[in-house]
Chain A
Amino acid sequence: GAVVSQHPSRVICKSGTSVKIECRSLDFQATTMFWYRQFPKQSLMLMATSNEGSKATYEQGVEKDKFLINHASLTLSTLTVTSAHPEDSSFYICSARAEYSLSYEQYFGPGTRLTVT
């Protein structure tokens, strides 16, 4: 089956620093990947849609200059949290749909737990 990986799985950083999270589709190509944020005991909230070769589309209320997204290839999207603050601490999850698939199914990465101290 389709596999999506994320790296790192956990990261602790100091307030004011930047953190990069990678999302990879291991056995399929994905023109589009999605980035979600999930706070404890809450639902998944879509942050942005990452498009290969073009700018990401951000959801309302998500600061594009704070959450930089780069979709450099058909198998890799990165999310960089810039000038991180404690309120950015959350579980970040990416997802992707297999290109040319007849299924609408999206495959999720294992998530990255970010803790900002």
Chain B
Amino acid sequence: GENVEQHPSTLSVQEGDSAVIKCTYSDSASNYFPWYKQELGKRPQLIIDIRSNVGEKKDQRIAVTLNKTAKHFSLHITETQPEDSAVYFCAATVANFGNEKLTFGTGTRLTIIP
């Protein structure tokens, strides 16, 4: 089955600086890679996702890049703000509008230092 590794486990960034979180996956058939933000005791919230036919996607301060050959994808947050502090999870799945079972990374606790 799929295995997703995520690094780093914790990340502290000065407010206004950029943060980068990296994930690798094992199943070359995986074609959908979402990123979730989870605040303490809350549900995971999708912040951005990317499909395997695209190498990069951007939404305001958030971007995701995908390297299918190397089987890794990264989350980039620019101009970080205190409200960006949370735990971020990457995930991967073979999506075909059927039973898309998400395999999650281990999470990154991001702390933005004011």
Contact = CB atoms under 8 A, between A and B. Distances in A.
B42 A106 contact: no
Contacts, number: 54
Q: Is the interface of A mostly helix, strand, loop or mixed?
A: strand
Contacts of B98: 32
A46 B49 contact: no
A8 interface: no
Interface residues of A, number: 22
B44 interface: yes
A64 B2 CA distance: 22
B44 A34 contact: no
Interface residues of B, number: 25
Given A43-B106, A46-B101, A46-B102, A105 B43 contact: no
A109 to B, nearest CB: 6
A44 B101 contact: no
Contacts of B95: 104
B30 to A, nearest CB: 11
Given A43-B106, A43-B107, A44-B89, A93 B44 contact: yes
Given A93-B43, A105-B46, 15 more contacts: A32-B98, A32-B99, A43-B105, A43-B107, A44-B89, A46-B101, A57-B99, A93-B44, A95-B102, A104-B97, A104-B100, A105-B34, A106-B102, A108-B44, A111-B43
